[in-house]
Amino acid sequence: MRRELKTGIGMTSARTRERLLKRLRDSGIRDSGVLDAIRQVPRHLFVEEALASRAYEDIALPIGHGQTISQPYVVALMTQALCAGERLRRVLEIGTGCGYQTAVLACIADEVFTVERIASLYRQTRNRLFDLRYRNVQFLHGDGFAGWTDHAPYDGILATAAAETVPEPLLEQIGVGGRVVMPVGQDSTQRLVIVQRTAEGYERREIESVKFVRLMSGTS
């Protein structure tokens, strides 16, 4: 899905975004659709104005509520692992946060369903993405451990918070051939994991070490 987005000035300029894309390519991000999505999405509009000058650095930034906007490399890596070079029809995101990862997913999938447990973030981000004209995203204020059964099965499920194991409801909601991408492990030993569903069961592999906030149950 292509969109005309604000170019920005200064540290949010197109030139600054291209420098970020070069860093991502140098780090091993090769999927042209993912790189195009990173180019399109205006990351400076997903952080506080005081941090906008750092929006296109390859770093995580705070967004309040004890949450962060993920490092662009990690966003690109997870998205690349999720789509594996294919156009996805239906994707579930666990942990909407500020909506940056959501917007990237909206560029590479036909439909995105996203779940956020923190009510204030849910409302704020829903309004932000509506203002930015992302019309292929649906939002739920709910418990990420439960997923969103109403729209299953999904071609891909991406979680932006870490759990000790991949929650069983998420495995059940993935379609055959689809994959779950999420950080798994304890706070100090998290690994980015891909679990693909096959006709015979599930295949799991690890990508690399990561550091995410914990996936919490319930809502607030």
d(CA 217, CA 73): 27
d(CA 31, CA 35): 6
CB contact at 8 A, 80 and 29: yes
Which residue out of 70, 120, 209, 217 is catalytically annotated?
A: 70
Within a 10 A sphere around the Cβ of 46, how many other Cβ atoms?
24
Q: Where are the alpha helices (DSSP H) in the chain?
A: 14-26, 32-40, 72-83, 100-108, 119-131, 168-173
Is position 70 annotated as part of the catalytic site?
Answer: yes
CB contact at 8 A, 56 and 19: yes
Active site residues: 70
